[in-house]
Amino acid sequence: MSEKVGMLYGRPEETATIDRLLQRARNGGSGALVLRGEAGIGKSALLDHAVETAADLRVIRGAGIESESELPFAGLHLLLRGVLDRIDALPDRPAQALRGALGLAAAVESDRFLVGLGVLLLLADLAEERPVLCVVDDAHWLDGASAEALLFAARRLEAEGVVMLFAVREVHAPAFPTPGVAELRLAGLAPEAAARLLDEQARTLPRHVRDQILQEAQGNPLALLELLAAQREGQLVAEPYGAYALSTFSRIQQTFADRIATLPEATQTLLLVAAAEQDGDPATVFGAAERLGAGVSDLEPAEDRRLLGMSGDRLTFRHPLIRTAAYRGATVSARLAVHRALAQVLDGDRRAWHLAFASTGPDEQVAAELERTAESARRRGGHAAVAAAYERAAKLSADPRERGRRLAHAARAAADAGQQERAATLADDAAALITEPVATAEVAKFRAGLADERGNATAAHQLLAESACAVAGRTPELAADLLFSAVEIAWTTGDFTAVRTVADQAHRLRVPGAGRIGELAARITTLNGPGGDVVEAAVAVRLLLDRDLAAGPPGLRGNARIAWWEMLLGDYGAAHDRAVALERESRAQGAIGVLPRALMLLARGQLWAGAHHDARSSATEGVRIAQDTGQTHNLAFLWAVLAQLAAIEGDQERCRQLTAEMTAHGTAPGQARATAIAALLDLGLARHEAALVRLTEAVEGANKLGTVHSLPDLVEVAARTGHRAQAQAAARRYADWADHTAQPWAHAIAARCQALLGAGEDAWERALHLHRQEGDPPFERARTELLYGEWLRRQHRKIDARAPLRSALETFERLGARPWADRGATELRAAGESVTRHAEDSDPLARLTPQELQVVRLAATGLSNRDIGAQLFLSPRTVGYHLYNAYPKLGITSRVELAGLVSGLTSGSGSPR
């Protein structure tokens, strides 16, 4: 994609304005527009858009040329050179004046406005054949005579079928007044649009580099693209308080640099201080400048040239790249001196950073100050700043051990900031320097966790096993912990060979707890094949859970792991409570690296509790953040939630797409889960034979706990298709697991399975009784009611069948489970009751997009747009946009109404929130 096309991101209003002008010309009208803005803001891109859109118009294009700005009518000649032969068709006087102006005939004394009239008439004449678009770029460099003639014509356009567009640079260019002509001033791109442009140009760029480029570009498309080019050339420095520069000056930068070079030396010094200081605080800038021989009076030349000036109470560069030019154009010695001067007038974090920039070699005192800065940032939840400070402190560390320790801290902070790639690099660098056993083990576990989160579980358990060997002789307890974790990760990927290998390694190294590792491995390896016992899997998970609970304060990632184990053991209540707290803490700390996992856990809990709208909203946000931060491992789990929702709702295409993603990007256990979800869709649509094939494959695989909830599905389809032995076997396995979990809802489903196999009405009654316990999943309860109603009707007890069928239908409709609701309605009619189906959008919240739903729920609690944006990682403007769109869908006009509406709907929705 070309640079100029890229700059059209985030310009819907501007392009629409131009498009309306062109359409007006097509309809016989006319118009003129001046596009104003700073260098690089996208004016030329909009002109390109106009030309491309005007394929059916006659296009005349020119530009002002600086070197010819003193040559009368040079710009006009450049613009009209392709239509000079049409001048003869004009009336004599305007034609003669235009010919003389363009050097086509001897100059004659004539009214200067005749040239302008000649331009107007020439354009109108051309438009008789087809509408005309006249485009002039860099109009500020037009010679005065050309500018006057063109503006004369522009102000008189009415009904000629002509559009005239001028692009004019604001600041750092000659004045180009355009009285009487409409103007459109271009501001920087909105953050969302700038991010999309950067994505298009460099989709794989690490998040922390993206954020740096976006911040430095300040919405200027050309600046964004130039900074990206600098990053690609390895010239972009990822540090706060630093002055970022390009490897080579772009045309814009060179212009800035040339103009700066003509300033007095003291003014250049002042500009350099302001460029290095970044905050724009006058007291700081002038205080540091005075130490270098510059003062307040030296600001005037920069103000006169519109390079630097006061905006409110801050010193502000007129363009972000002026700062770059001022800093990069200075000598190294000058930059070092400026940073030393700034350190003398600052304190705290900013002093530490300027001391770091003034350092030319290892300096433990400065490194220690940066470490204190990092911990201060940690208390404020600024994980990216923590990572940057520790990384810089490591570079200043003379002692390799200290360097390794600080790199490890930087890696952990980068991971919490969602900078997975950066975290992995920092952790690898730390591992090469750290020799102390405890620290070695900690870094190994961290590196393995990163590899697992990035979808490389094989590398993760190999790394743990190798590290265990390295530390076993000195710290066998740590080696045992590493090997235990290696078994865990190998299991999650279905690598049973690695599970056995690690257990053998633990025995060979004679580490403490080798027997416990062997027990875990033995239970896991029994799961590999049709004979695997789901209870054995639950016992293995219990071993993992007990270990994590006994390990002390778990932290964010530890709590995420514990919540996952709790879900696998069927304790959705405890897991949901932990997930709610984890999500809130992740947001509060800005731990975007953990947030996708927290949102996945929360979404699973919401899905289980029947809060399907909330589950979709949480999972959708999780997908977006996981994709932004490169957490591919979490994507498969998030897609699973969305796929299960699609299966329940009967959305075949959506379900197919999501399960295909799970299969393509997930591990073997994830693929088994995708198969089970596809089978649920089949079951809802009464495709029993297809469901049987899929379920048989899914539940007999290695992912015993991941597909345990599909065993009741298998019981139902096997019983319906006459495979009674298979149904009985699945029912026994599920009943064993239900006994192990001791959850009422699990016993309810187990009783339903027995009832399907002919246990009689007592089994149905027991199932419904257990379903009434707190924490019961509404979808599963409704399925039991549906099946019980079907059984009653087949027993010729139509009146008795109506109550459970009616309850099932209501639940299915509330959950949006259309295939299941259709089955319920059919059965209810067969039971002799007329059925009035509720409208699919009877729940107003169902009309909202996932993002709108999140915003609406938070707004209903009284949070401001700014606060909501902080939680959802959105701008306040985006929040307002979603509310604006949501209000009409909800039939309300205010936040007061919103709070009442959401409260009323949530109280009866089964939402876990």
Count how many residues are written for the chain. Answer: 913
**What average pLDDT score do residues 308-314 get?**
82
Higher-pLDDT residue of 66 and 521 is: 521
pLDDT of residue 5: 43
Q: Cα 178 vs. chain centroid, distance in angstroms?
A: 42
Pairing type for strands 308-311 and 314-317 reads antiparallel
Which residues make Cβ contacts (< 8 Å) with residue 834, sequence separation at least 6? Answer: none
Q: Based on the number of CB atoms within 10 Å of its own CB, is 39 exposed (0-12), middle (13-18) or buried (19 or more)?
A: buried
pLDDT of residue 875: 47
827 pLDDT above the threshold of 70: yes
338 pLDDT above the threshold of 70: yes
Alpha helices (runs of H) in 67-169, residue ranges in sequence order: 74-80, 92-101, 112-127, 144-155
N- to C-terminal Cα distance for the chain?
Answer: 45
SS3 182: strand
pLDDT in tens, 679-719: 999 999 999 999 999 999 988 876 677 788 999 999 999 99
Work out the pLDDT band at 70, boundaries 50, 70, 90. Answer: low
Opening angle at CA 629, ends 628 and 634, nearest 5 = 100
Mean model confidence pLDDT for the chain: 84
pLDDT in tens, 724-781: 999 999 999 999 999 988 899 999 999 999 999 999 899 999 999 999 988 899 999 9
Pairing type for strands 182-185 and 132-137 reads unpaired
Work out the pLDDT band at 796, boundaries 50, 70, 90. Answer: very high
pLDDT in tens, 31-47: 999 999 988 888 888 99
Highest mean pLDDT among 278-292, 373-387, 673-687: 673-687
pLDDT of residue 35: 96
pLDDT of residue 248: 30
Query: One-letter amino acid identity for 879?
Result: V
The CA distance from 301 to 285, in Å, is 16
pLDDT of residue 66: 67
pLDDT of residue 112: 55
Highest mean pLDDT among 115-119, 282-286, 344-348: 282-286
**What average pLDDT score do residues 800-825 get?**
94
Q: Is 369 within 8 Å of 311 (Cβ atoms)? A: no
Q: Based on the number of CB atoms within 10 Å of its own CB, is 188 exposed (0-12), middle (13-18) or buried (19 or more)?
A: buried
* φ/ψ (deg, to 5) at 732: -65, -45
Higher-pLDDT residue of 633 and 528 is: 633
pLDDT in tens, 458-512: 788 888 888 888 788 888 888 888 888 888 888 777 778 888 888 888 888 888 8
The least confident of 4-13, 333-342, 462-471, 598-607 is 4-13
pLDDT of residue 451: 81
Q: Is 414 within 8 Å of 441 (Cβ atoms)? A: no
Bridge partners of 168, per DSSP, are 36
SS3 51: helix
829 pLDDT above the threshold of 50: yes
Q: Based on the number of CB atoms within 10 Å of its own CB, is 19 exposed (0-12), middle (13-18) or buried (19 or more)?
A: middle
869 pLDDT above the threshold of 80: no
The least confident of 105-119, 271-285, 881-895 is 105-119
* φ/ψ (deg, to 5) at 784: -65, -45
pLDDT of residue 246: 38
pLDDT of residue 873: 61
Tokens of 299: 């600001």
The CA distance from 319 to 308, in Å, is 9
913 pLDDT above the threshold of 70: no
pLDDT of residue 600: 96
Q: Cα 168 vs. chain centroid, distance in angstroms?
A: 35
Query: One-letter amino acid identity for 499?
Result: V
292 pLDDT above the threshold of 90: yes
Q: Based on the number of CB atoms within 10 Å of its own CB, is 265 exposed (0-12), middle (13-18) or buried (19 or more)?
A: exposed
What's the pTM value of the predicted model, to 2 decimals?
A: 0.61
Q: Given the structure tokens 């040559």, which residue do they identify?
A: 71
Higher-pLDDT residue of 535 and 668 is: 535
Task: Give exposure, 821-857, as e/b (b: 16+ Cβ within 10 Å).
Answer: bbbbbebbeebebeeeeeeeeebbbbebebbbbbbbb
Work out the pLDDT band at 343, boundaries 50, 70, 90. Answer: very high
Q: Is 287 within 8 Å of 354 (Cβ atoms)? A: no
The CA distance from 344 to 355, in Å, is 9
pLDDT of residue 402: 95
Q: What is the 3-state secondary structure (H, E, C) of 86-112?
A: HHHHCCHHHHHHHHHHCCCCCCCCCCH
* φ/ψ (deg, to 5) at 583: -65, -45
Q: Is 250 within 8 Å of 222 (Cβ atoms)? A: yes
